[in-house]
Amino acid sequence: MKQLKFLALAGLAAVFVTGCANVETASVAGMQTTRDAFKSALHKEYVALAVAENKEGDSEDAEYFINKAKDAGLGLDVLPQLLDDRDLPKSAKGAMAKARTQLVNKLWNGGGELTPKHAARAQAMFDCWMQEQEENNQPDHIRACRQAFQAALFDTQVRKRMVKKMMKKMAPPAKMPDPYVVYFGLDSADISDSEMVKIKQVYADYRLRKPGKIIVAGHTDTSGDKDYNMGLSRYRAAEVGNRLMELGVPRKIVQKSRYGEIAPVVDSGDGKKEGKNRRVTITFLR
């Protein structure tokens, strides 16, 4: 194959179109193509291959590629060539079957939509590889098509990951749940079975929401001595925090604090027993 094919492999389709002697190829090259980015890119890639084959006098392969270019330009579904369509050497069939599977998987999983130019390049260069492998008389040209295919497929993979990463960054962060409240008995830091259910739910939500920090704040009612209540609120926060860590929440994100009786949810006045004030609140922070 002449230097022309190597220029086609470099993606310089426009160089060939202007000097194209084949009327059908020139007509397809100049057609108004679909707005579908992947199919439009396929059209250009196949035109480049068709022009290259025309220049080499390979009218059969030129016709094959220009027909694929025409179908792609019209917006029709154009697939990479089937292995059985070519008389391939047995030694090459395994590698080509694996390559085609990789390509088809990329296309089926959004490669054409997310990275249209690279996906189209990969498909056209696979067909180029197939054609050269069937001829099997120019190892350097087989290698050029194969390497062009592999490079385009790699770009498809990398760009797809980049798009997913960007989409993830652009997506609004998941809303953190309202604070959880665990209640305690009078003068107690013991956690009842019913309240332990809440703590297990906190752990389940932690795994789902992945907060950056969890604030565990202990409180008491106003009955009893203020200093004693401060210590009791510390024990309550410690009990809840320890249960969370036993379940699997990392110690480094659990921040325990104590408030004693100074932050009641029910303003009962001093020296009053109030169940809603005997609590630990668990708050997720991003």
Mean pLDDT of the chain: 88
**Taking CA 63 as the corner, what is the angle to CA 151 and CA 124, rounded to the nearest 5 degrees?**
10
Contact 111, 119 (CB under 8 A): yes
Question: Are 180 and 282 in contact, with CB atoms under 8 Å apart?
Answer: yes
Is residue 13 pLDDT above 60, yes or no? no
Sheet containing strand 279-285, strands side by side: 180-183, 279-285, 213-218, 254-258
Instruction: Considering only residues 181 and 161, tell me which one the structure prediction assigns the higher pLDDT.
Output: 181
All structural domains of the chain, each given as residue ranges with its CATH number in brackets, are: 3-170 (no CATH), 180-285 (3.30.1330.60)
Residue 7 or residue 105, greater confidence: 105
Q: Which of these, 30, 67, 98, 123, lies nearest to 115 by C-alpha position?
A: 123
Task: State how far the Cα of 47 lies from the Cα of 57, in Å rounded to an integer.
Answer: 15
Higher per-residue confidence, 271 vs 11: 271
Segment 200-227 mean pLDDT? 94
Other C-beta atoms closer than 10 Å to the C-beta of 35 total 8
Residue 155 has a pLDDT of 86
277 contacts 168 by C-beta, under 8 angstroms: no
State the pairing for strand pair 213-218/279-285.
antiparallel
DSSP secondary structure letters along 217-249: EE---SSS-HHHHHHHHHHHHHHHHHHHHHHT-
pLDDT reported for residue 86: 94
Structure-derived torsion over alpha carbons of residues 105, 154, 118, 164, reported in degrees to the nearest 10? 70
Tell me the pLDDT band of 171, cut-offs 50, 70 and 90.
low
Tens-place pLDDT, residues 75-116: 999 999 999 999 999 999 999 999 999 999 888 887 888 889
Average pLDDT rounded to a whole number, residues 209-236: 95
CB 36 within 8 A of CB 75: yes
Q: Could you write out the DSSP letters of every residue in the chain?
A: --HHHHHHHTT-HHHHHHT---HHHHHHHTSPPPS-HHHHHHHHHHHHHHHHHHHTT-HHHHHHHHHHHHHHHTT---PPPPGGGS---HHHHHHHHHHHHHHHHHIIIIIHHHSHHHHHHHHHHHHHHHHHHHH---HHHHHHHHHHHHHHHHHHHHHHHHHHHHHHHHSPPPPPPPPEEEE--TT--PPPHHHHHHHHHHHHHHHHH--SEEEEEE---SSS-HHHHHHHHHHHHHHHHHHHHHHT--GGGEEEEE-TTSS-SS---TT---GGGSEEEEEEE-
d(C-alpha 220, C-alpha 186), whole Å = 9
Rounded CA separation 76/179 (Å): 54
Q: Residue 168 burial by CB count (10 A; 0-12/13-18/19+): exposed, middle or buried?
A: exposed
